[in-house]
Amino acid sequence: MTDKPKILSGVLAAALTPMTGDSKPNIPLLARHCRWLLQNGCDGLAILGTTGEANSFTVKERIALVDKLVEAGVPGDALMPGTGACALEDAIEVTRAAVKAGARGVLMLPPFYYKNVSDEGLFAFFSEVIEKIGESRFRLYLYHFPQMSGVPITYELIEMLRKRYGDTVAGMKDSSGVLENMVGAARNFPGFAVFSGADNHLLPLLKEGGAGCITACANVGSALAQQVFAGFKKGQNVDAANEKLCAVRKTISQFPLSAALKELMARHTGDRSWSNIRAPLVRLNKEKAKALFDGFDAIGFPLPLAA
């Protein structure tokens, strides 16, 4: 395959990773979840991100998850795997596996252990990944999540990378929660796909030239997010759908996102294994789960049934 992939846009779910009882990735259940998301509003799937508990997995586990998911029939070109790591060679190894599996792009955190590193140091890290992958079809999406990583992706770094590597550095997921930072990136770097990491910023970012969203809540609200995205592109009034989407985000974000979303999926599917989560994260207790369900049900958004 030598053709260059199109820049991604639209609604991507930061996909959950269901677990078995012994905290191993449950690939059959994940494959079903991925297909359900693609059938209900998702344009792509950001697997192995923060919501997917990726940094609790080994390199071997992450590579196996990508490979087995494609083997299970999930299209590789629907995937944007998270491939960031503190160790450069780990990031290269996972990224190479993602590209081999046919992923249209990877989402990469900066190396996040050392804080206050320079843009020059981060440029060297990302540059080494790009050079070692060495494929024209490779697309890198930067992951700006300073609250979690402690290492921001600055405009200066984006400019350095785009100047050297052009469209290979294709875009960014901005989970900072700062709309002005997302808008500034979309305005300052034409052709650079900026995705909101939170659903409430999807519509404001689209109005300023953003590419879409990559969000945790798209695991349950992808149909709403797609109504907002597609409706906006068609010039329709999407205020009602956006209001409900923002309510979904506000309700779920009162709880730890991965645990809350897994509880919602467990209730929706009737499969209690959805509640499994890998330490150090923990399940919601019964009281919090009830509060979550009450708040979610009050929104009046029934989840789509499985096809």
Active site residues: 50, 113, 143, 173
**φ, ψ of residue 24 in degrees (nearest 5):** -100, 150
Cis? peptide before 110, omega within 30° of 0: no
User: Nearest Cα to 54, choosing from 4, 21, 3, 91?
Assistant: 91
State the angle between helix axes of 88-100 and 59-71 in degrees (0 to 180), rounded to the nearest 10: 10
Cβ pair 263, 292 in contact under 8 A:
yes
Cβ pair 128, 85 in contact under 8 A:
no
Q: How far apart are CA 257 and CA 148, in angstroms?
A: 13
Cβ pair 108, 149 in contact under 8 A:
no
Looking at residue 142, the DSSP 8-state letter turns out to be E
- Strands (E) located in 201-242: 212-215
26 CA to centre of own chain: 19
SS3 (DSSP) at 35: helix
User: Nearest Cα to 146, choosing from 121, 122, 182, 110?
Assistant: 110
